[in-house]
Amino acid sequence: MVKLRRMTLYVLSVILMAALAVFVSACMPQSADDAQEIIVTPPEYVEPDELTELRYEDVAVGTGPAVEDGDTVLIDWEGYLFDDDSLFNSSDIQGGPYQFVVGNSDVIDGWHAGVVGMQVGGTRTLEVPAYMGFGPAGMPGMVQADQDLWFEITLLEINPVDDSYGNGQYQSEYQQEWQ
């Protein structure tokens, strides 16, 4: 009886070893050419090649009411090419701050959308996709066609839409000079 048990255990061990060998050989590559080294690395964030939508970040938050569509604003600004961060224009180059009516003037769409919500004294960085910048026309001598841009904008003053004649309380020292 003891001999029969040992023999049964021996046969079962051989069968188990044979099954394990078949399983392991099925998982192994058939030749050295089939073998592949498996390397596991965590995914990395990759900056998109071009912008698809307006992005902004408040560098400094101002005070007072927020800019709304129709308000007249006065800004200091610097404009850079998105690809190489080279300065292409600024309020300093143009001789001083720039004034425009939000949603109703001849500035790029990125500025109209990008200044909404800012407060006087605030500084915001805008990343402007080409379609919200100068688009396929570009800006001859400064910006190529379909060029993504980024701007740093500081809001100097705001004249709310219901106070377009400069009687509001949220005005800066530039109000008299640039009106």
CATH number at residue 133: 3.10.50.40
Q: Tell me what pLDDT residue 106 has.
A: 84
Specify the 3-state DSSP secondary structure of 163: helix
- Counting the structural domains of the chain, the total is 1
Residues 6+ apart with CB under 8 A from 120: 62, 63, 64, 155, 156, 157, 158, 170, 172
pLDDT string in tens for the chain (179-residue length): 545 555 565 666 667 666 666 665 666 666 655 556 655 555 554 455 567 899 999 999 999 999 999 999 999 999 999 999 999 999 999 999 999 999 987 899 999 999 999 999 999 999 999 999 999 999 999 999 999 999 999 999 999 986 544 544 444 444 444 44
Whether 145 is covered by a domain: the verdict is: yes
Q: Tell me what pLDDT residue 46 has.
A: 47
Query: Taking Cα atoms as reference points, which of 52, 50, 98 lies closest to residue 75?
Result: 98
Query: What's this model's pTM, rounded to 2 decimal places?
Result: 0.65
Beta strands in the chain (DSSP E): 55-60, 72-81, 87-90, 98-101, 123-128, 149-159
Whether 130 is covered by a domain: the verdict is: yes
Whether 177 is covered by a domain: the verdict is: no
- In the chain, DSSP finds a helix count (H) and a strand count (E) of 4, 6
Which domain, by its residues, includes 78?
55-161
- Which residue type is seen at 82? F
Whether 42 is covered by a domain: the verdict is: no
Q: Tell me what pLDDT residue 82 has.
A: 92
Query: Taking Cα atoms as reference points, which of 94, 119, 120 lies closest to residue 107?
Result: 94
* Bridge partners, 159 (sequence order): 72
Whether 83 is covered by a domain: the verdict is: yes
Q: H helices of the chain, where?
A: 2-27, 91-94, 109-115, 175-178
Whether 68 is covered by a domain: the verdict is: yes
Q: Tell me what pLDDT residue 179 has.
A: 44
Whether 140 is covered by a domain: the verdict is: yes
Query: In the numeric block, which tokens belong to residue 91?
Result: 């309020």
Q: Tell me what pLDDT residue 175 has.
A: 44
Whether 119 is covered by a domain: the verdict is: yes
